[in-house]
Structures are given as structure tokens and as C-alpha cells.
Structure 1
């Protein structure tokens, strides 16, 4: 139904406007008696065999919603009714910011992809905290954190620390987003020495908390093998809890869209089917070359149950969807969970 009727209508309109419209629609429908229960009945697979214990947390199933969808933590309670095992909010920055100028979100329909250069648009830390206070405890929440666009390089760590301290009582795990191609001074955020400094600082604060939270690092799909070896070494040295592989890509190889249209769109991070194999390759490399020394959340181009199983079989412990959720609809979550169950049987 979604792909036959709803998606064709949604795809007639600007993607960012439809994103906000969808949020309002789901919010409204979820206030109607019995509708949340119907959503759960249609989209949720309840089976103890799907439970997965990763970095000290027990996930009811391995399928999560990636960061970027519910940036301001306004829909996670409602999204819990669509069968997800966890939802990652953010990217949250200390201060609210409008992000990059519009138009900044583009569909690549023939490629089943999206290019975005949103630029960490969000309402800021305090707004996210207020929303997270409404948590009904139905789902595991991840907090994806980043820096403000205009923060000077010497103050990057302060931004991450502010978000970490502020969100600590309200989220179940953290993600240090250091790999988004749509933020300034990207080079420093991928420098191994700086990452070690950042992780160490956040871990120091974490250890002082009554209940330390797992901390993960989100990496790009465009890293070469030498850089991936550096990530493996970094994880070993810092004992960070895990890695999310991967973020959006700046690589434009193999796309069906014309070069002229790509030039019209301009820069931004590519997500969806075009980065599927790249992200799976990164997952496999990290798992194989570290002897599966740390948990991996696999994300990038999951549009089917087969895509999800590929990532899990490559070494991912959990998976996340975003672009696939937009192209395939909410039934994708159920289909993946049923496929995981079939593989376990």
C-alpha cells in the first residue's frame, strides 16, 4: 500500500516539506484511540529470539532507526509503535541552528538514494532534553551528538561534552558523530589523534556518572583500509564501546542520475542503495581485521531484508535504516525482523 499509493503522492512534493508533514501526520494519528495499537499489531514482531544484548543493553530486536530522522526527539514514542528495536535521535548540537540554506534535501529516485546537506539543523540541546522528558520508556534511545557549525576548532570538544552531559540522564547510548560531510572543519573530526582526545575526554565524564552509558563512534563509508586500520587501533586504545558503519558518502560513482543533475544538486552526503555495498565492505573489514573485537551497528542502503542480512552476516550486531524507511515504508522493519527470525530457525 505504501509503495503503491502513499509514496507516489509524497514524492510529488519537496522532500523536506514532506518530512515535516509526515511527522505531523504520525503525531496526529497516534493521538486517535486504538491507532497506536493497530500500528503495533501491523508492524511489530514480538519474539524473544530477536532479542540482542549489545554493549550492555538488551535490544528487543536488531532493527533501529538511524539518526537524522527524528533530529529533535519529537517522534520517538510514536516511532516505537512501528516495530523498531531502538531509535537514534539527533544529531543534537549545544545550540539550536538552522543548518544550511534550502534546498538541501534531494531524492535520487532511479538510484533509490538521497543527497542531503542539512548541516546539523536542530533545535539544540535544551529542546531535545525537554522532549526526552516525555519518554514513555517503550524503546531504547540513542543520542547522536555533534558540534555547532560556527564553533572554533579549539572548542569542538566542549560542544560534544556539553551535549554528553546534558543528554546523559535521558538516552541509553551515545554516538559521537564525527563523520558527517556537511559540517565545517571535517578534516579535524577525522584526525585519529583528535578523536582519541575527544573520546578520552567524554569517557572521563562517563566514568564519573552513576550509570555510565555506552559510547559509539560513527564513521564514514569512504575510509580506505589504512584509515579503517586506524579506527580498529583507536577502538583498541580507547576501549570505546562500538562503531556505527556508516554515515553518508561524498562518493558519486556508479549513479544512474546524470552528471548535469548531480551538478545542479551540488555537494552533500549520499545515502541509500548507492552506498549499500560500500558500507557492508567497511563492516566486513572492521569485523574481520579486528577479530570481531567490538560491536558494530550496520547502516547504509538497507532497502530489503536481504540487505539487512548481508550486513548482519558481514559482522554487524544491529542494523539501522533511514533512506530505506522512506523508499520502502514502515513494513520494512517487520520484513527484516521476520527474515532474521527465519535465519535463526
Structure 2
């Protein structure tokens, strides 16, 4: 109800200004209000982690981990922060965030704007939150693609001890050439180096932190098959499907549709869910799929599980629905697909 009252004001502001205002408000709420609790549901096991419910926050909303405690009050079963890079960077020039309310979509070309991994680490250490925390890592915009693995490894080293799991983001369309890392040889090299580092860090810390790979929805069937095989070959712990899309098929003629960047929200639901289904068919039950993309109601969240996902994440849907979306999605996903059928 509070969000319904606040939404007209937020939508009267520039999209990025509204985002900054909301994040600041969540930061304050997290500092002054009692700690939040996950929406009650049957716990779920994935990646060796117990998730109190199946609904998480996708990366991108809180890139620097500034409002973790405030976000925890929304009832998420897990929270993912980032994408963070080794060095802070401003991202792409503004304006770079656009609402498409007619189709409940968002276009962004933020470009991994963040304060750097050291700032994120400090924020995580200061937070009261002790739930499941994912940390999403990427590369700096000016790091040559052939040296991208160095950036991922640098971030992994610094966040390992604080993360419940670490997500490797190779699928944002807003960092030049980043999606090349989804290619067969590039992905093999990156995953091989990351898994070696994970093994070393697990020994050093006495604790195994799972790795998840986040992929794009703009993949053809041979690419999906190749990625699935690489995930299996390198024993990656989970896959997140999917990031934003560069396709504009679902938003033709809509204001801002011509803007460059990744499209999220309702227009990506169909494509993203299709990728989940194809991954599930290829992977079986070998590793969990975390589904993101186009979840604006409980029915969409349920569809992700029915396609083969174990967990789901929301972000753009929060812009249009507010915190009520979390509870609705938890209720819709509280039973496994077979039990709900």
C-alpha cells in the first residue's frame, strides 16, 4: 500500500533519480528499523545452501551493497548485490535508464557503474544481514577482453569470505565485448581459472563458496548447448538465466524502445523462460537454475519453476509492483512443480 502511494511520485522523477532515491530510503530503513525476515515458506536446498524461500533479488538494484539491510525487509529468501568491478567506475553517460510503462519494461545501459570491490566489501561488513547473500562480479570497462579473467579473479579473491555464492556476470550488453566471454574457448578459459581459484580459496578459508554463471537470453540453441556442456565440464555450481536482452521484438513502436541497452521486465519473460527450459533439458538435475527475467507476478514466477528452475530472482518487477511482488512470488513458488501440478 505504501508503494502504491509512492509510485506516482517516483514515476514523476527521472528513472535513475528515482532509483537513487529509493536506494537511499532503503538504506535509512535498514539502519533505523528492526532487521527483516524472509517471507515464510518451505526451505529449499541448492548449491549446498539452504534458502528460506525461492525468491531472491537480482543483481543490479544495489550495486555497492549500500542497502542490504533495507532490502532484507522485503522478505527475500536471498539477496544478490553488484555487479562490482575491481576498480570503481562511473558507467555510461546519463541518461542511461528508461522506463517503458506501456509494456512494463526497463531499458538500461548503466555500464557496471559502481564504487569498486573494496567499497562493496566494506558495506557488506557493516551490514547486519546474515541471510543468503550473492555477490555478482564483472570486469572493468577498460580491461581488454583477453585479460577479463584477471578482473574476475581479483573480485573473487576479495568477496569470497563474505559471499554465500558468487555470480560471474558475462552477459551484460552494456560493457563492450563482454558477451564474447560466452564463446566456447573464452568460457572454457574463464571457468577453468575461476574453478582453480575457488578450490584454492576454499582450502584457505575452510569454506566452499559456490560459483554461478549468469548468461544472456539472446542465445541460439547451439550456444545454449555449448554453455550447458561447459557448466557441466567445469562443475559450476549454478546458472542464472537470464540477463537483459538486446532484442526489441516485443517493444516495437514503444517510447524509448530505440534506446541502446538491455531490455528487462515483462517483454523478456518469454525468451528468458525458454532459455531456462532448454538449459533444464540439457542439464537435467546436475546443477540448479536460478531464473530471472520478466517476473511481474506470481504466475510468471511459477512458470520459471515449471520450466525447470529451482530459484527465481526479481528486479524490474519491483519497479512496477513494489515489495508486494515478493510475497506474491513466494506464495506462488512455495511448492515444487510436481507438487503444485
Q: TM-score scaled by structure 2?
A: 0.93
Q: 1:244 aligns with which of 240, 245, 250?
A: 240
Instruction: Give the 3-state SS of the residue equivalent to 1:98 in structure 2.
Output: coil
Confirm whether residue 329 of structure 1 aligns to residue 322 of structure 2: yes
Q: 1:212 aligns with which of 208, 232, 238?
A: 208
Q: 1:52 aligns with which of 44, 50, 53?
A: 44
Q: Deviations over 1:119-167 (max 9, x none)?
A: 0000001101111112324321101000000012232111000000011
Q: Note if contact 2:141-2:175 (Cα within 8 Å) is conserved in structure 1.
A: yes
1:53, distance to aligned residue in structure 2 (A): 0.6
Q: Note if contact 2:134-2:164 (Cα within 8 Å) is conserved in structure 1.
A: yes
Instruction: Give the 3-state SS of the residue equivalent to 1:144 in structure 2.
Output: strand
**For the structure 1 residues 133 and 29, does the alpha-carbon distance in structure 2 shift closer, same or farther, using more than 3 Å as the test?**
closer
Q: TM-score scaled by structure 1?
A: 0.92
**For the residues of structure 2 that align with 1:30 and 1:89, how far apart are their CA atoms?**
15
1:328, distance to aligned residue in structure 2 (A): 0.5
1:341, distance to aligned residue in structure 2 (A): 3.3
**For the residues of structure 2 that align with 1:230 and 1:147, how far apart are their CA atoms?**
22
**For the residues of structure 1 that align with 2:307 and 2:29, how far apart are their CA atoms?**
38
Instruction: Give the 3-state SS of the residue equivalent to 2:166 in structure 1.
Output: strand
Confirm whether residue 341 of structure 1 aligns to residue 334 of structure 2: yes
Q: Deviations over 1:281-307 (max 9, x none)?
A: 100111012223211000000000000
1:261, distance to aligned residue in structure 2 (A): 4.0
1:208, distance to aligned residue in structure 2 (A): 1.5
Equivalenced residue count is 334
**For the residues of structure 1 that align with 2:86 and 2:65, how far apart are their CA atoms?**
14
**For the residues of structure 2 that align with 1:126 and 1:5, how far apart are their CA atoms?**
37
Q: Note if contact 2:10-2:18 (Cα within 8 Å) is conserved in structure 1.
A: yes
Aligned to 2:230: 234
Aligned to 1:222: 218
**For the structure 1 residues 55 and 281, does the alpha-carbon distance in structure 2 shift closer, same or farther, using more than 3 Å as the test?**
same
Please report the RMSD computed on the Cα atoms of aligned residues, expressed in angstroms. Answer: 1.7
Q: 2:95 aligns with which of 93, 100, 103?
A: 103
**For the structure 1 residues 338 and 126, does the alpha-carbon distance in structure 2 shift closer, same or farther, using more than 3 Å as the test?**
same
Confirm whether residue 274 of structure 1 aligns to residue 270 of structure 2: no
Aligned to 1:253: 249
Q: How does 1:147-158 map to 2 (within 5 A)?
A: 147-158=139-150
**For the residues of structure 1 that align with 2:154 and 2:99, how far apart are their CA atoms?**
34
**For the residues of structure 1 that align with 2:29 and 2:3, how far apart are their CA atoms?**
20
Q: Note if contact 1:142-1:172 (Cα within 8 Å) is conserved in structure 2.
A: yes
1:342, distance to aligned residue in structure 2 (A): 6.4
Confirm whether residue 262 of structure 1 aligns to residue 257 of structure 2: yes
**For the residues of structure 2 that align with 1:238 and 1:303, how far apart are their CA atoms?**
33
